């Protein structure tokens, strides 16, 4: 893999504590690669660092989100291969070559997969483990790290899904499920993430709802019916069970049973409609 066709994209928001060392290492390891820092409204020394090291910088006028920074970098990059890394110093530049090896083997995306004990905090590790299992069940393929921000991908394939990517933190989930849905092969490469420099921008209470919405996004991006059908069946069985109970004890059909049956039918229909909408999203990528 020629480094001349490689663009390394670093979304950064107030990551000066780890950014300078990372850029120095990247320039040393891959002097011919295009390195782009997407400054997402930083108020620290990010601009000065990029100017001092001669690194290309794309500036957002205000913070638009990690996903928005990723999209800005992908639109501006000139390389045939895109590498996305966190700018906080967690990812080792020497691991890039291992990701590129997987692309040489025929994969369209290679993701750096962190071990279970390598996440920041037990709550993050448990949440990621749950997301990995859910996504693996959806795609019928083992997903080792659904939310990793360290990945190498073919630029032409990645840009096909830019319109689907959210501006927030769930872009890795979206792009991973999009690749599986479109039938593009994805590989996972074990890595060790270092302790980040500076403070994380993710807060448990603030972002808890966002991470829960990842579950819905997983289903709607890949196969909504596979997610909605079990929910519909659960409502139906609950209604049937409650009807059996009230029929035996009270000899009547209650409003609660009717509500459960109605919920089952509505959820089933929503799943069918969502499946058709999802198919339309991927219509162009399947040609």
d(C-alpha 160, C-alpha 53), whole Å: 32
Helix count (H) and strand count (E) of the chain? 10, 7
Label residue 274 by pLDDT band (50, 70, 90). Answer: confident
Looking at the structure, tell me whether residues 138 and 255 fall in a common domain. Answer: no
Task: Supply the angle between the helices 224-250 and 255-281 in degrees, to the nearest 10.
Answer: 170
* Number of domains within the chain: 2
Supply the mean pLDDT for the chain.
86
Label residue 164 by pLDDT band (50, 70, 90). Answer: confident
pTM over 0.85: no
Residue spans of beta strands (DSSP E) within 41-134:
56-60, 81-84, 109-113
Looking at the structure, tell me whether residues 115 and 232 fall in a common domain. Answer: no
Looking at the structure, tell me whether residues 178 and 251 fall in a common domain. Answer: no
Looking at the structure, tell me whether residues 256 and 176 fall in a common domain. Answer: no
CATH number, domain of 11, equals 3.90.550.10
pLDDT tens sequence across 11-21: 999 999 889 99
Residue span of the structural domain in which 278 resides: 224-286
CB-based contacts of 169, cutoff 8 Å, min separation 6: 65, 66, 67, 202, 207, 210
The pLDDT, as a whole number, for residue 276 is 83
């Amino acid at each position: 893999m020629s480094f001349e066709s490689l663009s390394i994209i670093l979304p950064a928001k107030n990551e000066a504590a780890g950014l300078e060392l990372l850029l120095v290492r990247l320039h040393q390891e891959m002097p011919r690669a295009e390195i782009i820092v997407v400054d997402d409204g930083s108020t620290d020394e990010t601009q000065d660092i990029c100017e001092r090291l001669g690194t290309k910088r794309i500036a957002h006028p205000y913070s638009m989100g990690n996903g928005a920074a990723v999209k800005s970098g992908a639109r501006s990059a000139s390389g045939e291969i895109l590498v996305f890394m966190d700018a906080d110093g967690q990812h080792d530049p020497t691991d890039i070559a291992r990701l590129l090896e997987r692309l040489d083997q025929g994969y369209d995306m290679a993701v750096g997969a962190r071990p279970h004990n390598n996440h920041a905090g037990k709550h993050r590790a448990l949440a990621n483990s749950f997301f990995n299992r859910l996504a693996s069940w959806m795609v019928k393929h083992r997903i080792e790290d659904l939310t990793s921000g360290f990945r190498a991908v073919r630029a032409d394939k990645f840009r096909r899904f830019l319109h689907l990517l959210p501006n927030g933190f769930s872009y890795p989930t979206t792009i991973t499920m999009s690749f599986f849905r479109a039938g593009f092969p994805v590989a996972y490469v074990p890595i060790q993430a270092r302790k980040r420099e500076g403070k994380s921008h993710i807060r448990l209470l603030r972002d808890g709802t966002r991470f829960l919405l990842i579950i819905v996004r997983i289903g709607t991006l890949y196969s909504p019916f596979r997610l909605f059908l079990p929910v519909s069946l659960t409502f139906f069985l609950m209604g049937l069970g409650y009807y059996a109970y009230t029929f035996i004890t009270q000899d009547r059909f209650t409003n609660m049973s009717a509500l459960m049956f109605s919920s089952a039918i509505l959820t089933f229909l929503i799943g069918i409609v969502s499946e058709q909408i999802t198919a339309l999203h991927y219509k162009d990528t399947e040609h």
